[in-house]
Amino acid sequence: MFTKVWQEVKFPFFTFLVWRIFLILVAFISPAFFQLQDNFLGGGKETYQQNPLFWGHLNFDGEHYLAIAQRGYRDLEYFYFPPYPLLIGYIAKLLNGQIVMYAAVGLIISHIAFFLALTGLYKLIKLDFKENVAMWSLTGLLIFPTSFYFASFYTESLFLMVVIWSFYFARKGKWFLTGMLGALLSATRLVGIVLLPSLIIEYIKQKRGLKIASRKSLFLFLIPLGIVTYMIYLNKVTNDPLEFLHTVEIFGFQRSSALVLLPQVFYRYLLKILPNLDYSYLSVVFTTLLEFSVALIFLALSVLTFFRLRLSYAVYTSLAFIIPTLSGSFSSMPRYVLVLFPAYIMIGIWLLKKGRLVKVIYFLLNLTLLIISESLFFRGFWVS
């Protein structure tokens, strides 16, 4: 029994370990690359400077999640969905309740969730492909330029874990578990709601030729309960069930609470944002070019999933890609695409077919971008 389990987790475990050691080394040498920026440092500047290798994981949005975990929601914080900070707060309060405990609990949750996500993705891919595809897919995810967010005080790890295991249990026909996980997913992020149409398609595909309408199909409608519960709470405390949408503009002048279509976003970047970049601010140039490049690549991958992967995977990827762009910006897109696991399956399939030279170039390019991105983040620069 133990041997079988170990065989299932061996590759995810060792790649996770190597990835984590690499990130620690990058964080350690990051002061050699960039000066420290004072704003949005985890725990505040004084706390951060006491242990940058620890508190750097809480920069930017990590500060908001930490605050919510400690004392609950306040105005303009409802953009951050509740499961992650509430879980952190509950566990930390059972312990000593000091700020460092909140931070440690959140980081432990992120690390455990990401390892479980890797293990689940490995198993999920092997339902359709050989093991080498799973290996290359996990590798592609781990070396992606913003993969360090999986080790940070962010929801990426939790979301990825839940969405992968939701699909896995759906593939195994365990619809009640799928529905329960889906409810957690839709409460974790707005894009979690795209799991509903994706898994309805998966259910219909599995029941082809059989009775589609059954009791088990009703379990899928547990998925919206997460976000509906949050909206009920928001209506009670703010009189606006969509408060998380109506405050999106405070997170950047490019973002809009009104819907902006994807072609318009590309138009903005090509004709307004990119031509007017100030190249004296290299960090801004880097993040803007990264945003645009990632948007182009993952748009292509989203389309390709319709031809190479299951329809449910393709629907999830395309909808989860498009929804964040409706705010009118690709800001944070390099982080948002981390949870589009079918895209990394496509990358794994592509890498498997390429020769050694292409693989080496791909690795070096991604690792270079990862070093730059993580170094910027740990030194207080906005990345995604």
pLDDT score, position 209: 53
Q: Cβ(140)–Cβ(347) under 8 Å? A: yes
Whole-number Cα distances in Å, 59 to 151, 256, 259, 353: 12, 24, 29, 38
Q: How confident is the model at residue 250 (pLDDT cuts 50, 70, 90)?
A: low
Q: Cβ(378)–Cβ(56) under 8 Å? A: yes
Express each pLDDT in 125-163 by its tens digit.
999 999 999 999 999 999 999 999 999 999 999 999 999
Lowest mean pLDDT among 70-84, 164-178, 235-249, 365-379: 235-249
Amino acid at 14: F
pLDDT score, position 305: 98
pLDDT score, position 245: 85
Q: How far apart are CA 226 and CA 82, in angstroms?
A: 10
253, pLDDT greater than 60: no
Q: How confident is the model at residue 180 (pLDDT cuts 50, 70, 90)?
A: very high
Express each pLDDT in 297-309 by its tens digit.
999 999 999 999 9
Q: How confident is the model at residue 247 (pLDDT cuts 50, 70, 90)?
A: confident
pLDDT score, position 259: 82
Geometric angle at alpha carbon 81, from 75 and 84, rounded to 5°? 120
Express each pLDDT in 100-113 by its tens digit.
999 999 999 999 99
Q: How confident is the model at residue 7 (pLDDT cuts 50, 70, 90)?
A: confident
Express each pLDDT in 40-95 by its tens digit.
999 999 999 999 999 999 999 999 999 999 999 998 899 999 999 999 999 999 99
pLDDT score, position 1: 64
Percent of all residues in the chain with a pLDDT value above 70, rounded to a whole number = 95
Chain mean pLDDT for the chain:
94
- Mean pLDDT on 346-367: 97
Q: How far apart are CA 59 and CA 104, in angstroms?
A: 14
188, pLDDT greater than 60: yes
Lowest mean pLDDT among 38-42, 142-146, 206-210, 357-361: 206-210
Phi, psi of 36 (to 5 degrees): -80, 135
- Mean pLDDT on 210-227: 85
User: What token pair was written down for 88?
Assistant: 């952190």
Express each pLDDT in 316-342 by its tens digit.
999 999 999 998 999 999 999 999 999
Burial of 244: CB neighbours in 10 Å, binned 0-12, 13-18, 19+ = buried
Residue count (the chain): 384
- Mean pLDDT on 357-371: 98
Q: How confident is the model at residue 214 (pLDDT cuts 50, 70, 90)?
A: confident
227, pLDDT greater than 90: yes
Give 82's contacts (C-beta < 8 A, 6+ positions apart): 68, 73, 187, 230, 233
